[in-house]
Amino acid sequence: MNHAPRLAARRVGIDTFRENVAYLHRECPIVRAEGFIALAKIDLSVNGDGRDISAVLNVVDDERIVAPSEIGLSEQAFEQLGAPEGTQIAIAHAEPPASLHCLHRKIAGERLVRDEWMAIVADIAQRRYSKIELAAFVVACSQFELDRDEVAHLTEAMTAAGRKLDWQERPVVDKHCIGGIPGNRTSMLVVPIVAAHGMLIPKTSSRAITSPAGTADTMEVLATVELGFDRLAEIAHQLRGCLACGSVAELSPADDVLISVERPLRLDSPGQMVASILSKKRASGSTHMVLDIPVGPSAKVRSMSEAQRLKKLFEYVSRHVGMTLDAVITDGRQPIGNGIGPVLEARDVMQVLSGDPAGPNDLRQKALRLAGRVIEFDPDVRGGDGFGIARDILDSGRALQKMNEIIDAQGRRQDVPPLGRLTLDVLAGRDGFVEAIDNLEIATIARLAGAPKVSGAGVDLFRKLGDRVRADDVLYRIYADYPADLEFARRMSDRFSAYRIGDKEPSPHAFVEF
Amino acid sequence: MNHAPRLAARRVGIDTFRENVAYLHRECPIVRAEGFIALAKIDLSVNGDGRDISAVLNVVDDERIVAPSEIGLSEQAFEQLGAPEGTQIAIAHAEPPASLHCLHRKIAGERLVRDEWMAIVADIAQRRYSKIELAAFVVACSQFELDRDEVAHLTEAMTAAGRKLDWQERPVVDKHCIGGIPGNRTSMLVVPIVAAHGMLIPKTSSRAITSPAGTADTMEVLATVELGFDRLAEIAHQLRGCLACGSVAELSPADDVLISVERPLRLDSPGQMVASILSKKRASGSTHMVLDIPVGPSAKVRSMSEAQRLKKLFEYVSRHVGMTLDAVITDGRQPIGNGIGPVLEARDVMQVLSGDPAGPNDLRQKALRLAGRVIEFDPDVRGGDGFGIARDILDSGRALQKMNEIIDAQGRRQDVPPLGRLTLDVLAGRDGFVEAIDNLEIATIARLAGAPKVSGAGVDLFRKLGDRVRADDVLYRIYADYPADLEFARRMSDRFSAYRIGDKEPSPHAFVEF
């Protein structure tokens, strides 16, 4: 690129979410001379001796955004390039990402080998794929199901592309849920119980992407969660546990980029789910993990056979990357606990920890079972003893004490956010029994109400599966802070209330038990 | 959307190429309250009683681009919304396109029925799909090959989504090539020959998308090609032919949108190619068409069996949509003619029309054969007589005369653009024979030199397949107008010259003959 033309860099204050965009004026000599057109990809370089970053081109007709002598860069592109405004940037037609022929082989339905996965993931992590190419990759991987070795190589490649934490001891235990069940905040109970037992459980969680609250969002109601790695390690080593926010961008940068197309496409194929979860867990240094796979008609996994297949895939790949995995299939027919949304879920968790009889028993039971399985990773614990140990720790108050230590160490929040100021009660409308609760619909109502961005927003469930209701009973209460949010949530609940009320008392059989 | 919040419309001078983008300031109350995030989709409406357009959201941090009280719209979105700046626009979370469940069925590998294709194509034509969703659709359709009924329904849906021209007579004949062969400008010979024979051939072509010149780009060197439909019809009825620029956006709006992702992905699956070509031809009112399918190692179709399969698919679908089709498989091993780029190709065409012995004979022969097949659609012409009739028309000068009439009627260009001012000769480098010419590489060199945007830019071939060369013979000359363009083309030709020179004289067998 020694002779490549140059233009002065300018930061354009547009957030293009994980995609580098460059803005060139239509009258810019380079656009005119080189036939660049909108959506073309260009390579940018500060030294002119290669490619620092690639970007998608938007052509601009307004000099206030970018002048003909400048190259505008979206916030992401400017940050990634890392040069100050005014730097002369060399510009060239983009060399296609080196792995593009592998992508085309995958689109054609071929099986890729390890090196090809490595090449694709490295290009994705370095943001060399456009959104269109990312979407093509995600769809291609979901259409012809990846075989288990391909998933193993994808996982390995995604781990290799990021930073890997080292805890200097083992086992390092963890607990993870594949998601999809609102209110399922078991991590905030499992971590203090397991840490109180003495095992190292440095839990890093992400914020909600499509759900009304992630563990990081809920923990943030109580304490600081954005900790640097050094501080996080210090707390974890001292207290045996923490509940912090993990940076996906750091631990699995390829996953961070892929999410930007998987989310709007609502695609979450088994291969990509396994690679995404295990690459992040491997990178965060976990050696042993209990995995929660909820099954239910509105859960991510809808049948027991599908759950069994997914479990086997997780087991195969975790062995490949050297992790010990205990995957459990759980009841995903309805939300866990009562509250949905950061403040409401934090309330449920603290009620269970403090032994408050108002605390939701389903959350308590599930957390004890999962904590028990984690505790059984301890070589000194006999198989089957975990649940009892966990229950003793919880009931003795040691888990609450541990939680308070963790909150204080991370930084107790002084201005605990209140519940939303506006409320709306949704009534049963008829006498009968709660026959079904739709996880997706109730999550959508909570999100429209403002969760997780507005931490006091969400939904509080007053009735659960099998409960008898009268027409004027409140099924759930919506909390919001802004009238427009409440209005969106109200209109959604008018159309899809998430509850089905029927005449028959459902038989109270245990759907799954572990 | 009666209670939907409103913001003042503002045109943002950014060209986002077939994708509606809305820009909202991060501090805008709607972004803050409703948890809109970058890449979310929103619905916009002027009256607040539905959705006028959907747009992808970019979040902005610069008030000079958009203020917190405004909603910025990319040029495409502003134009499609059709309201003046300052109009109060109602904004809501996007209702997903109604056909999204059909897209998910296709991603899952299901066979779609006619109504589902109609629903998808209508949403695409109305720009309700984001780029990511479009990419997902294109990949899903290319992975599990569409069956021929699906292709027929897709074609029908794409035709139905646009305007349909009516010529008030039949047959209306046409000639089309699936593309991929540089210099292949036979339409500019076929049209005057067939029109001189008296058949109606109102040819509309598109500009180059990925090639160094389309028929519209080349014709524009000689005459105006942007004619309204009324003027075009007047000329065609009077002269029996025309060579105008067709608006894909009008005739097949869904195709116009799909191209915006197919092009960067370089995906052109058989089903989508057939639907794209036949929907446009059907919409342009053609009743009979000769289709050119070139086969060669660097052509779009690389083997005879692949060509035969594609031919059958074209035949099946054209019958479904009520068109008479004659598909011919042609020699696609190298470029046709000598010039590649608008001015150079126009030169070749005019040389052949005027009987100049310097004119390329391969272009002449191919055009005569194709014109002959079109002429045989005439019920009064005996099978096999077409070629002779076409040759007589060309050699008698009647085709040249017809071409001049068409040029004058469309508007003869007074300022015929010159050849590029800068040239570079690429030499053979060794003695031997031309064993291969790569269509894609030579096209890339011509594009880097500036074609088709710079109409005098391109490549002039001095040697073709089988020619004996000495080391210092010129293989081809690159023409450019800008030093940077010439430099790009030079670097490309240094790496990939497009020519393979070997020791063996290739046997001069006819690769395909029709």
The ipTM assigned to this model is: 0.79
Minimal Cα–Cα distance from A500 to chain B, Å? 23
Query: CA A83, CA B461: separation in Å to the nearest integer?
Result: 44
Q: What is the three-class DSSP state of B293?
A: strand
pLDDT at A486 over 90: yes
Residues with Cβ < 8 Å from B415, sequence gap 6 or more? none
Whether residue A79 lies within 8 A of chain B, CB to CB, comes out as no
- Kindly report the CATH number that applies to the domain delimited by A173-249+276-410: 3.40.1030.10
Q: Is B381 exposed, middle or buried (0-12, 13-18, 19+ CB in 10 A)?
A: middle
pLDDT at res. B185:
95
Contact B38 A30 (CB under 8 A): no
Q: Looking at B396-469, list the stretches that DSSP marks H as alpha helix, in order from N- to C-terminal side.
A: 398-410, 439-448
Residues of chain B with CATH 3.40.1030.10: 173-250+268-410
Split at pLDDT 50, 70, 90, the class of B27 is confident
**CA atoms of A423 and A19, how far apart (whole Å):** 38
Split at pLDDT 50, 70, 90, the class of A511 is low
Q: Is B269 on the interface with A (CB under 8 A)?
A: no
Domain made up of A422-502: CATH architecture: Alpha-Beta Complex (3.90)
**Amino acid found at A283:** A
Structure tokens of B372? 């002959």
Which residues does A149 contact at the CB level (< 8 Å), separation at least 6? none
Ranges for all domains in chain A classified under CATH 2.40.40.20: 6-93
Q: Tell me, what's the pLDDT at A507?
A: 67
Contact A139 B135 (CB under 8 A): yes
Per CATH, domain B173-250+268-410 is 3.75.10.10: no
Residues of chain A with CATH 3.40.1030.10: 173-249+276-410
| Rounded-to-integer distance, Cα B248 and Cα B159, Å | 11
Instruction: Tell me the average pLDDT of chain A.
Output: 91
pLDDT of A38 above 80: no
Single pTM value for the model: 0.83
Higher pLDDT, B63 or B398: B398
Query: d(Cα A75, Cα B58) in Å, to the nearest integer?
Result: 11
pLDDT (tens digit per residue) in A255-313 = 988 988 888 888 888 999 999 999 999 999 999 999 999 999 999 999 999 999 999 99
**Residue ranges of chain A that CATH labels 3.90.1170.30:** 422-502
B113 or A126, which is more confident: B113
Using an 8 Å CB-CB cutoff, list chain B residues near A485.
Answer: 33-34
Query: Which CATH architecture is the domain B6-93 placed in?
Result: Beta Barrel (2.40)
Give the mean pLDDT of B364-369. Answer: 97
Q: In terms of DSSP H, where are the helices of B383-475? A: 386-395, 398-410, 439-448
Question: For chain B, what percent of residues have pLDDT higher than 70?
Answer: 95
- What number is the average pLDDT over the span B303-311? 94
In chain B, ranges of CATH 1.20.970.10 domains: 100-160
The confidence band for B53, taking pLDDT boundaries of 50, 70 and 90, is confident
Q: Is the pLDDT of residue B511 over 70?
A: no
pLDDT of residue A256: 86
Q: Which A residues 275-334 touch B at CB under 8 Å? A: none
Q: What is the pLDDT of residue A344?
A: 98
Out of B217, B268, B326, B348, pick the active-site residue.
Answer: B268
Find the CB nearest B23 among A14, A60, A134.
Answer: A14
Q: Which residue has the higher pLDDT, B122 or A92?
A: B122
Q: Report strand pairing: A173-177 vs A288-295.
A: parallel
The whole-angstrom distance between B454's CA and the closest CA on chain A is 8
**Would the pLDDT of A33 be above 80?**
no
Return the pLDDT at B433.
Answer: 96
With vertex at residue A66, the alpha carbon angle to CA A63 and CA A71, rounded to the nearest 5 degrees, is: 145
Average pLDDT of chain B, as a whole number: 91
B264 close contact with A: CB closer than 8 A: yes
Distance CA B195, CA A110 (A): 48
As a whole number of angstroms, the distance between CA B421 and CA A354 comes to 84
CB B341 within 8 A of CB B477: no
User: Do A107 and B485 count as a contact with CB atoms less than 8 A apart?
Assistant: no
pLDDT tens, position by position, B401-457: 999 999 999 999 999 899 999 999 999 999 999 999 999 999 999 999 999 989 999
Give me the pLDDT at residue B108, please.
86
**Least confident stretch, A254-268, A322-336, B102-116, B158-172:** A254-268
Q: Which of residues 122-161 of A touch B (CB under 8 A)?
A: 130-136, 138-140, 142-144
pLDDT at A3 over 70: no
SS3 per residue for A104-173: HHHHCCCCCCHHHHHHHHHHHHCCCCCHHHHHHHHHHHHHCCCCHHHHHHHHHHHHHCCCCCCCCCCCEE
Mean pLDDT value of segment A185-194: 98
Q: B374 vs chain A: nearest CA distance in angstroms?
A: 35
Label residue A324 exposed, middle or buried (CB < 10 Å: 0-12, 13-18, 19+). middle
Mean pLDDT for A201-215 is 89
- Which among B17, B34, B130 has the least Cβ separation from residue A39? B17
> What are A142-183's pLDDT values in tens digits?
877 899 999 999 999 999 998 888 898 999 999 999 999 999
A142 contacts B138? CB cut-off 8 A: no
Write down the pLDDT at residue B96.
78
Q: Which of A419-428, B122-131, B220-229 has the highest average model confidence (pLDDT)?
A: A419-428
Task: Return the minimum-mean-pLDDT range out of A18-32, A70-84, A312-326, B446-460.
Answer: A18-32
- Residue B331 · residue B465 · CB < 8 Å: no
A133 with B265: Cβ contact below 8 A: yes
Mean pLDDT of B17-23: 84
When comparing pLDDT for B437 and A20, which is higher? B437
Q: What are phi and psi of B52, to 5 degrees?
A: -85, -50
Say yes or no: A93 contacts chain B, CB-CB below 8 A: yes
**Helix or strand or coil: residue B327?**
strand
Just give the CATH number of B100-160: 1.20.970.10
Span B31-43, average pLDDT: 69
Q: Tell me if chain B has a CB within 8 Å of the CB of A110.
A: no
